[in-house]
Amino acid sequence: MSTVDDELLLEVEDLHVEFRTSDGVAKVLNGVGYAVRAGETLAVLGESGSGKSVTAQTVMGILDSPPGVITGGEIRYRGEDLLTATPRRRRELRGAEIAMIFQDALSALNPVFTVGFQIEEQLRIRQGMSRKDARKRAIELLELVRIPAAARRIKDYPHQFSGGMRQRAMIAMSLALDPDLLIADEPTTALDVTVQAQIMDLLSEIQRERRMGLILITHDLGVVAEVADRIAVMYAGRIVEQADAHELYRSPGHPYTAALMDSLPRLDLKGQTLETIKGLPPSLLDIPSGCPFHPRCKRAEQRCRDERPSLHGLGSGRVSACHFADEVVESRG
């Protein structure tokens, strides 16, 4: 686990995004806010459709528009508001200051160019390197992410790499311009457990060495248990809980987080039925009144149906959007 530096890199504040479609307006992000410091790992958790990746795309300035429309909020990188920055300024920051590892490496990599060309291209264009120097640096980057025989494999195409190797190549590309903030969107999806562990260990090691801020987007609580400093839990386009990783695992402060914890397989519960979260996440075209989680929540009362809870503090820098957060923490303590 990294040691958190004092420098504040990224602040996302009250971010709202809509998707305007033929079926209606989907409220995809509804007041999302979090911050990341240098050397810190923030894990963003939640089921598919909770808004994790849309938040990251908005930070990167690559949100598809249409249908995506930013309707409110601020995104500040080292104090600079990215939402009011010029397109040229966003391009300058993208890759060099803020980089992203995409979820599906096979789709993100261009199939008609070699892996080496795709790494070298940004070095030549963004840093003015010669072809020879760019090739040398690209090999160094592939060696950094532990691709065997990098000098030979650099001439291969993406389809000639295994899933784990493609993910490593994506990491090498994201590190090429030495960014200070790295967003990893489901970097271990579709990889087997052993490769998942290798990728996460690699990311943690590189982050410690470079003192990067790291935003790790995932739906897998097991993946982040050993690497996250802080965790933000998302549901229906909102942050419903933020806490220090140890605190959150020890005593979650929101029923949704507690339900996610309970759904994890445990060795001490061998032979018992695995807990599940009943129902499905709400449609973002029609988010329920009150607390969006109340139709699936075992603790829901009439107040939960009528009144939407705001984030409030629980001490030690943690917050929860639950009317009964103190009781939830106490019951799990």
Residues 42 and 133 in one domain: no
Exposure of 18 by Cβ count < 10 A (0-12 exposed, 13-18 middle, 19+ buried)? buried
Residues 198 and 326 in one domain: yes
Q: Render each residue's pLDDT in the chain as its tens digit; 333 residues.
A: 444 557 999 999 999 999 999 999 999 999 999 999 999 999 999 998 999 999 999 999 999 988 999 999 999 999 999 999 999 999 999 999 999 998 888 888 999 999 999 999 999 999 999 999 999 999 999 999 999 999 999 999 999 999 889 989 999 999 999 999 999 998 887 678 888 888 888 888 888 888 999 999 988 787 788 889 999 999 999 999 999 999 999 999 999 999 998 887 766 667 777 788 989 999 999 999 999 999 999 999 999 999 999 998 988 889 999 999 988 888 876
Q: Are 52 and 59 in contact (CB under 8 A)?
A: no
Q: Quote the pLDDT of residue 1.
A: 43
Residues 132 and 231 in one domain: no
Residues 187 and 323 in one domain: yes
Q: Are 293 and 302 in contact (CB under 8 A)?
A: no
Last residue of a domain, one of 177, 208, 227: 177
Residues 203 and 223 in one domain: yes
What is the number of domains present in the chain? 2
Residues 316 and 172 in one domain: no
Give the Å distances, CA to CA, from 233 to 24, 55, 108, 191, 201: 26, 13, 26, 23, 22
CA angle 135, 138, 142 (to 5 degrees): 140
Q: Quote the pLDDT of residue 264.
A: 78
Residues 122 and 139 in one domain: yes
The Cα–Cα gap between 124 and 247 comes to 45
Residue 4, CB-side half-sphere exposure with 13 Å CA sphere: 15
Residues 312 and 173 in one domain: no
Domain that holds residue 164: 110-177
The Cα–Cα gap between 17 and 70 comes to 4
Closest to 187 measured CA to CA, from 205, 210, 168: 168
Number of Cβ within a 10 Å radius of residue 19: 21
Residues 191 and 323 in one domain: yes
Q: Quote the pLDDT of residue 87.
A: 93
Q: Quote the pLDDT of residue 259.
A: 92
Q: Quote the pLDDT of residue 2.
A: 42
